[in-house]
Chain A
Amino acid sequence: MTFKTLLTTTAFAALMSSPVLAQQISIKAGVLNDRSGLYADLSGEGSVIAAKMAVEDFKAAEKGIKVEIVSADHQNKPDVGSTIARTWYDQDGVDLILDVPTSSVALAVSQITKDKNKVHINSGAAASDLTGKACTPNTIHWTYDTYALAQGTGGAMVKAGGDSWYFLTADYAFGHALERDASAVVVKNGGKVLGAVRTPFPGTDFSSFLLQAQASKAKVIGLANAGGDTINSIKQAGEFGIVAGGQKLAGLLVFITDVHALGLQTAQGLVLTESFYWDSNDGTRAFSERFAKANGGKKPSMVQAGVYSGMLHYLKAVEAAKSKDSATVVAKMKELPTDDPLFGKGTVRADGRKMHDVYLFEVKKPSESKAPWDYYKQIAVLPAEQAFRPLSESECPLVKK
């Protein structure tokens, strides 16, 4: 039909060889993300590759599960995203939607998924509302959220001595939320916030704001922004000698693809939080090598890793439930522990939050980097319980207190 269809499994051949199963389950998964815009590098086609790898690794065909994967570009626009989600669910028989970066689109897709009673496993979006007040029984939020980012970057920086902060906040809801969450963490850990400046969004020139941040004499400049804004502010901070002057930059939402775009020369010394890094252990390295081969040499971002992990767990739940009924599968996903080489062992909580450890990284100096994509050194590990919002503080109606 409308969207490029990617047949991933040669289910028929596999069926011939495998023992006849009582029931063949066929699943259609839609990878909905940014394929052309700002987040195309961190999600995009890479997420489709990751989903396909999950299907391969699960050996779905041998287990009597036929999986077809479709993909589309939501262009980071909630209206485009919700139109596609509606069409997929209503017309194309899609059972679950994966990825969906950009919080605004994710919230829209989550709502539609609930209305149509399907499944949404989100990997790309940051909004902690997805498992907070906007939580639904049909949505699982996999990789990270703003709460975890603030806990990681904010908390760990204060513990490492960066106890006075100044925020550069992109002047829109997402920037405000990041600033609010991070400020709370900074204060809670005994640091203080000296001030914040609201930068027009989207912006290109941050020099004026950086100068204000510099004048504040704060030890840490927190970048409560995303995408192009983050890249430009880091770039210009380097130019104005801010890091050289002894102040630290803390990116509240920075992906490895951003670091790649900046280059180590500019990004060195930046502190950031991610829940996955390709070079963490043998499991992640093996996966990333296979992934890179399929993705033009680019290593996976945590979002793409999350798509793999989420798809894998969904398939496990389908196998265990012997059904693709949304309520049954989600219940199974929350019941079964998660385990994969990328995120290790974990669980899916009642509110739909996937629990795993989160890491604080510092970007290496160019001299420390030995190979392409050798970008991070690990500073701290945050156990899942500390990284994600505890259920006791949850605003999610699904959580029984």
Chain B
Amino acid sequence: MANVASTDAPAAGLAVIEIDHGTARLHRMIFIGIAIALAVAPFIAYPVFVMKVLCFALFALAFNLLLGYGGLLSFGHAAYFGMASYVSAYTAKNWGLTPELAILLGTCVAALLGALFGALAIRRQGIYFAMITLALAQMVFFFSLQTPRFTGGEDGIQAVPRGKLFGLINLADDRTLYWVVAIIFMAGLLAIYRIIHSPFGQVCKAIRDNEPRAISLGYRANQYKLTVFVLSATLAGLAGATKAIVFQLASLTDVYWSMSGEVVLMTLVGGLGTVFGPIVGALVIVSMQNYLASLGAWVTVVQGVIFVICVLLFREGIVGVIAKWIKKPL
């Protein structure tokens, strides 16, 4: 992707803000901190719970790449997350693929779907874009509902085997699987970090902030938008495919529009357009759902209240506020 930027127009043509040394060091420390947290987490908390947080954090990171850095609010990210989760569950269960191949295949399908929907959706902007992605995702939902042979209908694909990584390492044990998920998560996070700080990422930000100006500077805005859309869909797919292996289940919940809403909420709570915000957001929202599960419909109400509060008073999100305090981008 990066060479798209270099062939199209020199990145230096825009006022690219290079991150200074102090920030780079801070980010490196945060990465080390995350790595340490990942290493000790399974010994402190219930590993399945941590894996769930990681999957959703990756999902939110992917979403934030699109909204925070591409300026495109997709209300249909459940489509890529869910479709990838179906594909990886289906291939692992019915074709007997090893988990890494199943996840890879799921991710690829999400990328294709992203390219297709992205090409349609970027024809409109702003609110229309959001509504179109939502409607397209709802189409995927109906497709999933009506093709029980593939998706298992409302039962979903259950009892997906976790299988053996590379045909060697048995993942049935939660702890073993945890390390795989942690590595996938770290890889996803690093990839997103690279994308954001690449010349490509800078151009995306320029388009987000002022599209006509970026176009006048010779950037093909739609190509950039489509690329970032596909990247985001791909990573969302990676999260969904991994989740299917972890929970041994792919279900309609993953493609329903409320899932799209949840990922928006996670990103918003954590901090829109911050690198690390979505991780915090996912942690907060998943824990909240977990601990409030017995409250039933009140969970929806609480989520709605958080939405409203975030939009009205807390638009920077948790990490955004911290970044403001320490005056460094996070």
Contacts and interface: CB of A to CB of B under 8 A. Distances in A.
Contacts of B154: 103-104, 172-174
Contacts of A223: none
B294 interface: yes
Interface in B46-67: 46, 48-49, 52
Nearest to B297: A36
A104 B247 CA distance: 14
Interface string A79-95: 11011101100110000
B293 A104 contact: no
Nearest to B155: A104
B249 A78 contact: yes
A72 interface: yes
A401 interface: no
B316 interface: no
Nearest to B152: A173
Interface in A172-218: 172-174, 176, 200-201
B100 interface: no
B249 A82 contact: yes
Contact of B52 (A3, A83, A173): A83
B236 to A, nearest CB: 16
B159 interface: yes
B251 A111 contact: no
What bracket does the count of chain A residues touching chain B fall in?
Answer: 20 to 34
Interface string B128-142: 000000000000001
Given A83-B48, A172-B145, A173-B153, A73 B296 contact: yes
B325 interface: no
A3 B294 contact: yes
Given A79-B254, A174-B153, A2 B158 contact: no
A36, A173, A200: most-surrounded residue (chain B CB, <10 A): A173
B94 interface: no
Interface residues of B, number: 30
A78 B253 contact: yes
Contacts of A78: 155-156, 158, 249, 251, 253
A80, A172, A200: most-surrounded residue (chain B CB, <10 A): A172
Nearest to A127: B155
Contact of A172 (B153, B158, B251, B295): B153
A200 B142 CA distance: 9
A36 B292 CA distance: 13
Nearest to A70: B294
B290 interface: yes
A77 B253 contact: yes
Contact of A111 (B52, B158, B294, B300): B158
A108 interface: yes
A78 B85 CA distance: 14
Contacts of B156: 78-79, 104, 108
B interface SS class: helix
Interface in B182-212: none
B56 to A, nearest CB: 12
A200 B251 CA distance: 18
A40 interface: yes
Nearest to B85: A79
Contact of A91 (B46, B152, B251): B46
B6 interface: no
B293 A72 contact: yes
Contacts of B146: 171-172
Contacts of A172: 145-146, 148, 153-154
Interface string B72-98: 000000000000000000000000000
B247 A111 contact: no
Contact of A173 (B49, B142, B155): B155
Nearest to A198: B146
B291 interface: yes
Interface in B117-174: 142, 145-146, 148, 152-156, 158-159
Contacts of A311: none
B84 to A, nearest CB: 15
A35 B155 CA distance: 19
Interface in A38-92: 40, 71-73, 75, 77-80, 82-84, 86-87, 90-91
Interface in B230-255: 247-249, 251-254
A90 B48 contact: yes
A72 B295 CA distance: 8
A4 interface: yes
A107 interface: yes
Interface in A219-240: none
Contacts of A174: 153-154
B294 to A, nearest CB: 4
A144 to B, nearest CB: 18
A332 to B, nearest CB: 28
B251 A2 contact: no
A111 B154 CA distance: 16
A86 B51 CA distance: 13
Given A35-B296, A40-B296, A201-B145, A2 B290 contact: yes
A73 B294 contact: yes
Q: Top 3 A-B pairs ranked by shortest CB distance?
A: A36-B296, A173-B153, A36-B297
Given A2-B294, A73-B293, A73-B295, 13 more contacts: A2-B291, A2-B293, A4-B294, A36-B300, A71-B294, A78-B251, A78-B253, A82-B247, A90-B48, A108-B249, A173-B148, A173-B153, A173-B155
24 contacts: A2-B294, A71-B294, A72-B294, A73-B293, A73-B295, A75-B296, A77-B251, A77-B252, A78-B158, A78-B253, A79-B251, A79-B254, A80-B293, A87-B46, A104-B155, A104-B156, A104-B158, A107-B155, A171-B145, A172-B145, A172-B154, A173-B153, A174-B153, A201-B145
